[in-house]
Amino acid sequence: MKYNRILLKISGESLAGENGNGINSDMLRYYVNEIKKAYDMGVQIGVVIGGGNIFRGMQGASKGFDRVQGDYMGMLATTINSMALQGELEACGIKSVVLSGIAIDPICERMSGRRAIQYLQNGYVTVISGGTGNPYFTTDSAGALRAVEIKADVLFKGTRVDGVYDKDPEKHGDAKKFDHITFDQAYEQGLHIMDLTAFTLCKENNMPIVVFNMNKENNLYRILQGEQIGTIINNK
Protein backbone atom coordinates (compact mmCIF):
# COMPACT_ATOMS: atom_id res chain seq x y z
CA MET A 1 0.00 0.00 0.00
CA LYS A 2 1.51 3.30 -1.13
CA TYR A 3 -0.01 5.64 1.50
CA ASN A 4 -1.12 4.98 5.07
CA ARG A 5 -2.93 8.24 5.84
CA ILE A 6 -4.55 10.49 3.26
CA LEU A 7 -6.57 13.68 3.06
CA LEU A 8 -9.16 13.51 0.30
CA LYS A 9 -10.43 16.87 -0.98
CA ILE A 10 -13.57 16.77 -3.10
CA SER A 11 -15.73 19.60 -4.36
CA GLY A 12 -19.25 20.23 -3.18
CA GLU A 13 -20.38 20.49 -6.80
CA SER A 14 -19.42 16.84 -7.30
CA LEU A 15 -22.22 15.81 -4.95
CA ALA A 16 -24.78 17.64 -7.07
CA GLY A 17 -24.30 15.37 -10.06
CA GLU A 18 -26.36 16.41 -13.05
CA ASN A 19 -28.70 18.35 -10.78
CA GLY A 20 -26.25 21.24 -10.65
CA ASN A 21 -27.07 21.95 -7.02
CA GLY A 22 -28.14 20.20 -3.84
CA ILE A 23 -27.11 16.64 -2.97
CA ASN A 24 -27.66 13.82 -5.44
CA SER A 25 -28.11 10.59 -3.48
CA ASP A 26 -26.57 8.48 -6.26
CA MET A 27 -23.42 10.62 -6.32
CA LEU A 28 -23.21 10.57 -2.53
CA ARG A 29 -23.41 6.78 -2.56
CA TYR A 30 -20.80 6.57 -5.33
CA TYR A 31 -18.27 8.62 -3.36
CA VAL A 32 -18.88 6.59 -0.22
CA ASN A 33 -18.32 3.36 -2.18
CA GLU A 34 -15.00 4.73 -3.47
CA ILE A 35 -13.97 5.77 0.05
CA LYS A 36 -15.00 2.35 1.39
CA LYS A 37 -12.57 0.58 -0.96
CA ALA A 38 -9.72 2.62 0.51
CA TYR A 39 -11.04 2.18 4.05
CA ASP A 40 -11.18 -1.60 3.63
CA MET A 41 -7.48 -1.53 2.71
CA GLY A 42 -6.73 -0.10 6.15
CA VAL A 43 -5.96 3.43 4.94
CA GLN A 44 -6.62 6.23 7.44
CA ILE A 45 -8.85 8.72 5.63
CA GLY A 46 -9.55 12.37 6.30
CA VAL A 47 -12.03 14.14 4.02
CA VAL A 48 -12.60 17.81 3.25
CA ILE A 49 -15.59 18.56 1.05
CA GLY A 50 -16.58 21.92 -0.39
CA GLY A 51 -20.01 23.55 -0.21
CA GLY A 52 -20.44 24.98 -3.70
CA ASN A 53 -23.47 22.80 -4.45
CA ILE A 54 -25.33 24.67 -1.70
CA PHE A 55 -23.71 28.09 -1.37
CA ARG A 56 -20.46 29.67 -2.49
CA GLY A 57 -19.25 32.72 -0.57
CA MET A 58 -17.68 34.51 -3.55
CA GLN A 59 -20.84 34.13 -5.62
CA GLY A 60 -22.85 35.49 -2.72
CA ALA A 61 -20.55 38.50 -2.50
CA SER A 62 -21.09 39.20 -6.20
CA LYS A 63 -24.84 39.30 -5.54
CA GLY A 64 -24.61 41.78 -2.71
CA PHE A 65 -23.85 39.60 0.31
CA ASP A 66 -21.21 40.83 2.71
CA ARG A 67 -18.07 38.79 1.88
CA VAL A 68 -17.43 37.70 5.45
CA GLN A 69 -21.07 36.73 5.99
CA GLY A 70 -21.07 34.88 2.67
CA ASP A 71 -17.96 32.93 3.58
CA TYR A 72 -19.49 31.83 6.87
CA MET A 73 -22.59 30.71 4.97
CA GLY A 74 -20.27 28.67 2.74
CA MET A 75 -18.72 27.07 5.82
CA LEU A 76 -22.18 25.99 6.96
CA ALA A 77 -22.78 24.52 3.50
CA THR A 78 -19.66 22.37 3.89
CA THR A 79 -21.06 21.13 7.19
CA ILE A 80 -24.32 20.06 5.54
CA ASN A 81 -22.36 18.10 2.93
CA SER A 82 -20.12 16.60 5.61
CA MET A 83 -23.13 15.44 7.62
CA ALA A 84 -24.64 13.87 4.50
CA LEU A 85 -21.37 12.06 3.82
CA GLN A 86 -21.16 10.86 7.41
CA GLY A 87 -24.71 9.54 7.28
CA GLU A 88 -24.01 7.54 4.12
CA LEU A 89 -20.68 6.25 5.48
CA GLU A 90 -22.35 4.96 8.61
CA ALA A 91 -25.16 3.41 6.56
CA CYS A 92 -22.38 1.38 4.88
CA GLY A 93 -20.99 0.29 8.24
CA ILE A 94 -18.04 2.70 8.27
CA LYS A 95 -17.25 4.50 11.50
CA SER A 96 -17.08 8.22 10.86
CA VAL A 97 -17.00 11.55 12.64
CA VAL A 98 -17.50 15.16 11.60
CA LEU A 99 -15.10 17.75 13.01
CA SER A 100 -15.44 21.43 12.20
CA GLY A 101 -13.33 24.55 11.89
CA ILE A 102 -16.23 26.44 13.49
CA ALA A 103 -18.02 25.46 16.68
CA ILE A 104 -21.43 23.93 15.94
CA ASP A 105 -22.58 22.19 19.09
CA PRO A 106 -24.07 19.53 19.20
CA ILE A 107 -23.65 18.64 15.51
CA CYS A 108 -19.89 18.21 15.41
CA GLU A 109 -16.78 18.55 17.53
CA ARG A 110 -14.28 21.35 17.09
CA MET A 111 -11.38 20.46 14.82
CA SER A 112 -7.90 20.02 16.24
CA GLY A 113 -5.03 18.11 14.71
CA ARG A 114 -4.59 15.93 17.78
CA ARG A 115 -8.29 15.05 17.97
CA ALA A 116 -8.44 14.23 14.25
CA ILE A 117 -5.37 11.99 14.45
CA GLN A 118 -6.86 10.11 17.42
CA TYR A 119 -10.03 9.41 15.44
CA LEU A 120 -8.03 8.32 12.39
CA GLN A 121 -5.92 5.96 14.49
CA ASN A 122 -9.12 4.50 15.97
CA GLY A 123 -10.48 3.63 12.54
CA TYR A 124 -12.83 6.55 11.87
CA VAL A 125 -13.17 8.25 8.50
CA THR A 126 -12.69 11.80 9.73
CA VAL A 127 -14.69 14.39 7.80
CA ILE A 128 -13.50 17.93 8.48
CA SER A 129 -16.03 20.66 7.73
CA GLY A 130 -16.23 24.41 8.24
CA GLY A 131 -13.31 25.33 5.99
CA THR A 132 -10.39 26.82 7.90
CA GLY A 133 -12.86 28.46 10.28
CA ASN A 134 -11.99 31.87 8.85
CA PRO A 135 -13.38 33.96 5.99
CA TYR A 136 -11.32 34.70 2.87
CA PHE A 137 -10.00 31.13 2.62
CA THR A 138 -11.18 28.51 0.13
CA THR A 139 -11.87 24.87 0.87
CA ASP A 140 -8.73 24.08 -1.15
CA SER A 141 -6.83 26.00 1.52
CA ALA A 142 -8.77 24.10 4.16
CA GLY A 143 -7.81 20.81 2.51
CA ALA A 144 -4.14 21.77 2.47
CA LEU A 145 -4.24 22.96 6.08
CA ARG A 146 -6.00 19.83 7.33
CA ALA A 147 -3.62 17.55 5.39
CA VAL A 148 -0.69 19.18 7.18
CA GLU A 149 -2.48 19.12 10.57
CA ILE A 150 -3.30 15.41 10.44
CA LYS A 151 0.21 14.60 9.16
CA ALA A 152 -1.17 12.97 6.02
CA ASP A 153 1.17 11.25 3.60
CA VAL A 154 -0.53 12.95 0.67
CA LEU A 155 -3.34 15.31 -0.30
CA PHE A 156 -5.66 13.79 -2.90
CA LYS A 157 -7.58 16.33 -4.97
CA GLY A 158 -10.47 14.53 -6.63
CA THR A 159 -11.67 16.31 -9.77
CA ARG A 160 -13.52 15.54 -13.01
CA VAL A 161 -10.33 15.55 -15.11
CA ASP A 162 -7.63 12.89 -15.02
CA GLY A 163 -4.73 15.06 -13.92
CA VAL A 164 -2.88 18.32 -14.54
CA TYR A 165 -2.46 19.60 -18.10
CA ASP A 166 -0.46 22.44 -19.60
CA LYS A 167 -3.80 23.97 -20.68
CA ASP A 168 -7.49 23.24 -20.27
CA PRO A 169 -8.10 19.79 -21.82
CA GLU A 170 -11.82 20.52 -22.11
CA LYS A 171 -11.03 23.43 -24.46
CA HIS A 172 -7.80 22.31 -26.16
CA GLY A 173 -7.48 18.95 -27.89
CA ASP A 174 -3.66 19.19 -27.91
CA ALA A 175 -3.36 19.72 -24.14
CA LYS A 176 -0.45 17.78 -22.61
CA LYS A 177 -0.94 15.84 -19.37
CA PHE A 178 1.77 15.70 -16.73
CA ASP A 179 2.37 12.49 -14.78
CA HIS A 180 4.61 14.44 -12.42
CA ILE A 181 5.42 18.10 -11.92
CA THR A 182 7.17 20.01 -9.15
CA PHE A 183 5.60 22.89 -7.24
CA ASP A 184 8.17 25.26 -8.75
CA GLN A 185 7.42 24.10 -12.30
CA ALA A 186 3.69 24.55 -11.70
CA TYR A 187 4.32 28.10 -10.43
CA GLU A 188 6.52 28.92 -13.43
CA GLN A 189 3.94 27.65 -15.90
CA GLY A 190 1.05 29.40 -14.16
CA LEU A 191 -0.93 26.19 -13.71
CA HIS A 192 -4.05 26.70 -11.60
CA ILE A 193 -4.11 23.43 -9.67
CA MET A 194 -5.30 24.88 -6.36
CA ASP A 195 -5.45 28.43 -5.10
CA LEU A 196 -2.06 29.92 -4.29
CA THR A 197 -2.57 29.84 -0.52
CA ALA A 198 -3.28 26.10 -0.59
CA PHE A 199 -0.49 25.42 -3.06
CA THR A 200 2.10 27.36 -1.06
CA LEU A 201 1.05 25.66 2.17
CA CYS A 202 1.65 22.26 0.57
CA LYS A 203 4.97 23.33 -0.94
CA GLU A 204 6.33 24.77 2.31
CA ASN A 205 5.26 21.73 4.33
CA ASN A 206 6.44 19.19 1.75
CA MET A 207 2.90 17.84 1.30
CA PRO A 208 2.57 16.07 -2.06
CA ILE A 209 -0.64 16.53 -4.03
CA VAL A 210 -2.21 13.95 -6.32
CA VAL A 211 -4.77 15.33 -8.78
CA PHE A 212 -6.95 12.62 -10.30
CA ASN A 213 -10.39 11.90 -11.72
CA MET A 214 -12.50 10.90 -8.73
CA ASN A 215 -15.47 10.22 -11.01
CA LYS A 216 -13.80 7.21 -12.61
CA GLU A 217 -14.58 4.11 -10.61
CA ASN A 218 -11.71 2.51 -8.66
CA ASN A 219 -9.22 5.32 -9.38
CA LEU A 220 -8.61 6.07 -5.71
CA TYR A 221 -8.16 2.38 -4.92
CA ARG A 222 -5.78 1.89 -7.86
CA ILE A 223 -3.59 4.85 -6.84
CA LEU A 224 -3.37 3.48 -3.31
CA GLN A 225 -2.26 0.17 -4.84
CA GLY A 226 0.63 2.01 -6.48
CA GLU A 227 -0.65 2.57 -10.02
CA GLN A 228 0.35 5.74 -11.89
CA ILE A 229 -2.96 7.58 -12.25
CA GLY A 230 -3.44 11.32 -12.36
CA THR A 231 -0.65 13.79 -11.65
CA ILE A 232 1.60 14.01 -8.60
CA ILE A 233 2.94 17.42 -7.55
CA ASN A 234 5.78 17.61 -5.03
CA ASN A 235 9.11 19.31 -4.31
CA LYS A 236 11.31 16.69 -6.00
Total count of domains within the chain: 1
Place 62 in a pLDDT band, splitting at 50, 70 and 90: low
What distance lies between CA 153 and its chain's CA centroid? 14
Q: Which domain holds residue 129?
A: 5-234
Q: For residue 14, which of 214, 231, 168, 217 has the smallest C-alpha distance?
A: 214
Place 192 in a pLDDT band, splitting at 50, 70 and 90: confident
Alpha-carbon span 216 to 55, nearest angstrom: 26
Place 5 in a pLDDT band, splitting at 50, 70 and 90: very high
* Residues of the chain above pLDDT 70, percent: 97
Whether 48 has a pLDDT exceeding 90, the answer reads yes
The CATH code of the domain that includes 86 is 3.40.1160.10
Whether 43 has a pLDDT exceeding 60, the answer reads yes
Per-residue confidence (pLDDT) for residue 59, from 0 to 100: 62
Whether 172 has a pLDDT exceeding 60, the answer reads yes
User: For residue 171, with 0-12 CB atoms within 10 Å meaning exposed, 13-18 middle and 19 or more buried, which class applies?
Assistant: exposed
Whether 131 has a pLDDT exceeding 70, the answer reads yes
